Amino acid sequence: MLALLWTGCDEAALSHETALDAYDVCDVNPTSIHVVVDGGRRIRRKGGEGYAIHYETVDAKQVGWWEGMRCVKLATAIEQCAATGTPRYLLEQAVENGRKRGLLGKREAERFEAMVGGADEQEQRGEPS
């Protein structure tokens, strides 16, 4: 909660690996608390050494609540983590457990499974993912 308050931004939300950890869908262990704020904001405060602030515009439909705190929904967290290099096995765990727990819809889960499967095929052909 302190990380969100520290930003001073009403739209701040837990994100990336912190959101995966909050939803308890994989064995991720973030080294910082990831928070997303609007892409047009710039935070110039002291005391945020343990926070990873991400500047991107997140649609209201992509944000929900976790234990009274704003948190990106699981699908958004998986997309963010895939874009920032979270290991594939953690994303696979998140998709599988998110689907089982009803945090991902069938289409979302299938899309992520295809994305991860496509990366596996590229690796087998020796192409970068």
10 assigned to some structural domain? yes
Radius of gyration of the chain (CA): 15
Per-residue pLDDT 10s for the chain (129 aa) are 899 999 999 999 999 999 999 999 999 999 999 999 998 888 888 988 999 999 999 999 999 999 999 999 999 999 999 999 999 999 999 999 999 999 998 898 898 888 776 555 444 545 444
Asked whether residue 61 is domain-assigned, the answer is yes
Distance CA 77, CA 23 (A): 10
How much is the pTM? 0.86
Q: Give CA separation, 106 vs 70, 73, 95, 100, 101, in Å.
A: 24, 15, 10, 10, 12
Q: Kindly state whether residue 59 falls inside one of the protein's structural domains.
A: yes
pLDDT of residue 122: 47
CA dist 125 and 100 (Å) reads 31
Structural domain of residue 66, as residue ranges? 2-124
- Structure confidence at residue 44 (pLDDT): 84
Q: Rounded to whole angstroms, how far apart are CA atoms 16 and 21?
A: 9
| 58: in domain | yes
Q: In this structure, is residue 76 part of a structural domain?
A: yes
Q: E strands, 1-129, where? A: 13-14, 33-37, 51-55, 63-66, 69-72
Question: Could you tell me if residue 129 is inside a domain?
Answer: no
- Asked whether the beta carbons of 35 and 11 are under 8 A apart, the reply is no
